[in-house]
Structure 1
């Protein structure tokens, strides 16, 4: 529970909006003023915001303090994430993106269910840690806002064509399967000169040397990476090989789990990859059903009770009087797609006709006729005629290739969007020790206060 709350509390700490009030509430006279540590366009980040977010990270890594970098490095990383969150929220507000209380209520319910809590228990757990549930709700609202901003950006800039899918699947570099990766990103700012590129490469080599010297990869990511996931140890999760840029995929395919790549040059900077695990793609066999049905629909002239009774009468004629199913379907069924075919639904995958019919099919044996049952469409009589195993590998590969290409384009499009967002923002970091000495993909060099 403590680990869960530490993660949740960190998440909402980084998303809290800065307010005009600069004094900590109910602060005793001896407590210093809550100073501004950074200005982000027309918004500010307070020392208390930074303290709370940094403290949440320390809670998240309780018992693993050795993975955290020195305090000043950690605070710079946390501040970078705070700045990036503020910029995204501001952009979303400029675009008129809004989140309703009902949206947040659903998000609260989802978080509670995922952690096997009721919303009331979740609230009590958050408040038990001394945090505000209102702030927790605000964090969820900000997450939804950023998610909708992300969707809008990639929806307007990412498309996948059939020819791109064909090219990927036919490429000699195409590799199936999935890999679990972590990464360290040392970015090169847009328009960088040779000296800036060399500085980024030197930092990447420094990170690689630290890892070879025994530093945990996650700890090195927290210390050196400037990717948005740096504070998560650079964990990219499981990704299909066809989602990964070919230049990186070639390197990864020659690695064993646990190995770390050299510093690889990519379009936006240098990357160090760790292969955590891999799993091969298997053939996808799917159970298909052959069935036929009779559908009786309620109408203005036929109540639901009357439709049920009519279906029951037809069931008795089929099962007890052994009348022909197909002939009755042609005469009485109101399903436009199957009635003229004697109710024949042909071969289909389980969910093709909806969850209600899929569930009923699973209960039947081949040749068995169901009792009348109700769905949103009306009252059904269903006969399962047969089952077979169908190889859907090709169809699945095409669907996965489409998703992989889309994901790759989406990642690049949103990364470019964030780089542009920060490079065009006014960011003034007022605390000297929190300023980066170099530039990063998360933004331009901070201005002096």
Structure 2
């Protein structure tokens, strides 16, 4: 069974493409004529020009979503953190000799264009009007496909679903059957084997973030500025989830939330979390009887949980020298 990870590829690509690397415009090069390293990741390096290109595109993406971008310094750090994790994965993919053939690449790029309601030719023209190129987007897609391959190998291999789990799921279908939830998420991460002081600091921060929300702070803007989760730059949005697809750490909290309500801080091995129920629909008692469909649903939920742990592990194992603050780039 070929199982999905985290999100359907088309959705993952659409979320990742606005964050892809692109050449600096001539104006930006005039403003920042001297490039420099902002992070060393194992044997690789991330340049300031790459970071600023990504930051500009993320800022546009947040604005299009109606999310107030965080401060320049906070946004730079959020984007750099994502770039570091991507770089680690791409290095691992190269070490594993993973590759993407042209047929798969062309098919995926065409799918991205079609998902935007355009032919490939119109897509290329739109990119050019935005100062990008089809070649740059093809490279973004290639990188994303390589990371998906790696995740399939490293994360999917950790996940199993037993027949008993399928039976238990079918037995438990009831009030939540057919319900779908739109969720958002803020996370304060903990390192592996954290000290008590680190746990206390993380707990204090998540409680402070919840107080800010209670005092009227916008959830999406706060997530973009402060969350350590992979969805931070999407305003913490986790999208729509069926009841069985909710991350396991949230399953007890989410059904009891009112729309618009934020949970109390939730502890997991990865850190502390706040989850917001943005919307809810369904609940008409849809009966899932197909075991393969149930097995896939359970696999997806487990994979979502395992992915977050795996990303923390590979980051902890990598050599990372974050020079952003030293460089005066902020």
Give TM-score scaled by structure 2 length.
Answer: 0.86
Q: CA–CA distance in 2 between the matches of 1:124 and 1:8? A: 20
Quote how far apart the aligned CAs of 1:29 are.
9.1
Structure 2 CA distance for partners of 1:406 and 1:206, relative to 1, 3 Å = same
CA contact (8 A) 1:36 1:45 kept: yes
Q: Deviations over 1:231-260 (max 9, x none)?
A: 001111111222335653222221111111
Structure 2 CA distance for partners of 1:416 and 1:100, relative to 1, 3 Å = same
Q: 1:82-97 alignment to 2 at 5 Å?
A: 82-97=83-98
Structure 2 CA distance for partners of 1:421 and 1:191, relative to 1, 3 Å = same
Task: Give the secondary structure class of the aligned counterpart of 1:181.
Answer: strand
CA contact (8 A) 2:288 2:294 kept: no
Task: Give the secondary structure class of the aligned counterpart of 1:270.
Answer: strand
| Cross-structure match for 1:395 | 289
| Cross-structure match for 1:276 | 278
Q: CA–CA distance in 1 between the matches of 2:285 and 2:55? A: 46
Aligned length: 314
CA contact (8 A) 2:261 2:276 kept: yes
Q: Deviations over 1:410-434 (max 9, x none)?
A: 1222222211111111111123268
Q: CA–CA distance in 1 between the matches of 2:134 and 2:262? A: 41
Q: Where in structure 1 are there 5+ consecutive unaligned residues?
A: 1-5, 285-392, 436-449
Q: 1:106-125 alignment to 2 at 5 Å?
A: 106-125=107-126
Quote how far apart the aligned CAs of 1:403 are.
2.4
CA contact (8 A) 2:68 2:221 kept: yes
Quote how far apart the aligned CAs of 1:49 are.
0.6
Q: 1:5-404 alignment to 2 at 5 Å?
A: 10-13=18-21, 32-62=33-63, 67-171=68-172, 175-176=176-177, 177-244=179-246, 248-284=250-286, 393-396=287-290, 398-404=291-297
CA contact (8 A) 2:105 2:141 kept: yes
Q: CA–CA distance in 1 between the matches of 2:168 and 2:222? A: 37
Quote how far apart the aligned CAs of 1:279 are.
2.3
The structure carrying a bigger helix percent of its residues is 2
Determine which structure has more spread, i.e. the larger CA radius of gyration: 1
| Cross-structure match for 2:319 | 426
Structure 2 CA distance for partners of 1:193 and 1:103, relative to 1, 3 Å = same
CA contact (8 A) 2:170 2:288 kept: no
Q: Deviations over 1:338-385 (max 9, x none)?
A: xxxxxxxxxxxxxxxxxxxxxxxxxxxxxxxxxxxxxxxxxxxxxxxx
Task: Give the secondary structure class of the aligned counterpart of 2:272.
Answer: strand
Quote how far apart the aligned CAs of 1:153 are.
2.0
Q: Deviations over 1:76-123 (max 9, x none)?
A: 000001111111111111111101222221112111111121111111
Structure 2 CA distance for partners of 1:191 and 1:254, relative to 1, 3 Å = same
Structure 2 CA distance for partners of 1:167 and 1:12, relative to 1, 3 Å = same
CA contact (8 A) 2:155 2:310 kept: no
Structure 2 CA distance for partners of 1:198 and 1:433, relative to 1, 3 Å = farther
Structure with bigger RCO (C-alpha 8 Å, 6+ apart): 2
Q: CA–CA distance in 2 between the matches of 1:213 and 1:28? A: 41
Quote how far apart the aligned CAs of 1:146 are.
1.0
Q: CA–CA distance in 2 between the matches of 1:39 and 1:87? A: 11
| Higher mean C-alpha deviation, range 32-41 or range 64-73 | 64-73
Structure 2 CA distance for partners of 1:161 and 1:224, relative to 1, 3 Å = same
Task: Give the secondary structure class of the aligned counterpart of 2:142.
Answer: helix
Quote how far apart the aligned CAs of 1:155 are.
3.2
RMSD: 2.9
In the alignment, is residue 410 of structure 1 matched against residue 323 of structure 2? no
Task: Give the secondary structure class of the aligned counterpart of 2:63.
Answer: coil
Q: CA–CA distance in 1 between the matches of 2:205 and 2:164? A: 40
Q: CA–CA distance in 2 between the matches of 1:157 and 1:27? A: 44
Quote how far apart the aligned CAs of 1:31 are.
5.6
CA contact (8 A) 2:17 2:141 kept: no
Task: Give the secondary structure class of the aligned counterpart of 1:69.
Answer: coil
Q: Where in structure 2 are there 5+ consecutive unaligned residues?
A: 1-13
